[in-house]
Amino acid sequence: MTPTSSLRRSHSRLHTMWIGNVRNLPFEDQLRATAAVGLDELSMTPLDFDRNIARGLSARDMRNMAKDSGVSLPILDPLASWAPHWTSGVSDPSWMQFLGYAPDDFFRIAAELEASTMTVIGTFAAGHVPIAQVTESFAAIVDKAAIHGLHCVLEFIPIWGIGDLATAWHIVRTVNRSNSGLAFDFWHYIRGGPDDSLLRSIPGDKISYVQVTDAEARLPANRSLFDDCLFHRLPPGEGGLSINHLLEILKNIGGLQRVGPEVFSAALDKMSADAIAEALRTPYWEALATAGISA
């Protein structure tokens, strides 16, 4: 059974609709799908924000529409331009529309949305920037985030320079700021090289949010990591990833403060809001229940 809004709000854990699930829908349908799955909040990208503005919606309109749907908009995701040589891993110029926001523009949008949390990613090519330089730049953006009242979350992505949990955790641990933490995406973790011993050693409060997804157990030989990440994910339990195992580890370390499905999928891209909600609702809540995590 999908929890009601009042029941969801009574628990400290937050459940997030990552906007990648609903990336092809207009904003009002993104909100409808979020509420229909039984989730508390919808993440936002700077590009989606600007597209909504171009449609005639103000930031106030977005906040009010979300509130009317029983949903909040606390997360702005992602910022790439904080890192040195951040364009070195971006081979397709069309991606600059999505990634090319300067920090000042990003912080302006976060303020207009009244967001509380931001994600940063490292889109520089693997091996292109010394880890010490990346760490120094991360410390600077975390400190700037603090000035803007934002919690700053580092996401590791195996197609780029911060490619695994070990690298991301080294950066976050070295910077050691109270307003910083890690994003933990199941696909990124497994495709980037899982290390369960390391995961168990990380304080749960440093895992700021968890993105639950499934995929084929092994990357097909004829498919790139990039395509697998963005177009071939599956709802939890419909692939071969160790969903239950990871949820249990995260539960045991107290790392499930904020959790939600993130299914980048060409199949979902063709669906309506109601169909996406139907595709995600039962797999997501059943995955949590199987791991002994109450809704």
| Predicted pLDDT at 295 | 72
Structural domain contains residue 270:
yes
Kind and range of the H or E element at 61? helix 59-68
- Number of structural domains (the chain) is 1
Structural domain contains residue 1:
no
**Alpha carbon distance 5, 10 (integer Å):** 9
**Residues 73 and 48 sit within 8 Å (Cβ to Cβ):** no
| Predicted pLDDT at 9 | 38
Buried b (16+ CB within 10 A) or exposed e, 147-166: eeebbbbbbbbbbbbbbbbe
**Alpha carbon distance 227, 214 (integer Å):** 14
| Predicted pLDDT at 175 | 98
**How high is the mean pLDDT of the chain?**
95
Burial of 269 (0-12, 13-18, 19+ CB in 10 A): middle
CATH code of the domain covering residue 126 = 3.20.20.150
| Predicted pLDDT at 284 | 98
Structural domain contains residue 2:
no
**Alpha carbon distance 287, 45 (integer Å):** 26
In the three-class reduction of DSSP (H, G, I as helix; E, B as strand; rest coil), residue 255 is classed as coil
Q: What pLDDT, in 10s, does the model give residues 210-238?
A: 999 999 999 999 999 999 999 999 999 99
What's the number of CA atoms in the CB half-sphere (13 Å) around residue 186?
32
Structural domain contains residue 284:
yes
- Cα distances from 176 to residues 12, 48, 139, 194, in angstroms, run 24, 31, 8, 23
Structural domain contains residue 4:
no
Q: Which residues of the chain have pLDDT under 70?
A: 1-11
DSSP character at residue 234: B
Structural domain contains residue 295:
no
| Predicted pLDDT at 12 | 79
Structural domain contains residue 234:
yes
In the three-class reduction of DSSP (H, G, I as helix; E, B as strand; rest coil), residue 249 is classed as helix
Strand partners, 209: 183
Which of 23, 76, 14 lies closest to 5, judged by CA? Answer: 14
Q: What pLDDT, in 10s, does the model give residues 37-59?
A: 999 999 999 999 999 999 999 99
Structural domain contains residue 5:
no
Domain hosting 139: range is 16-290
| Predicted pLDDT at 1 | 36
What is the rounded end-to-end Cα distance, in angstroms, of the chain?
Answer: 9
| Predicted pLDDT at 2 | 39
**Alpha carbon distance 238, 110 (integer Å):** 35
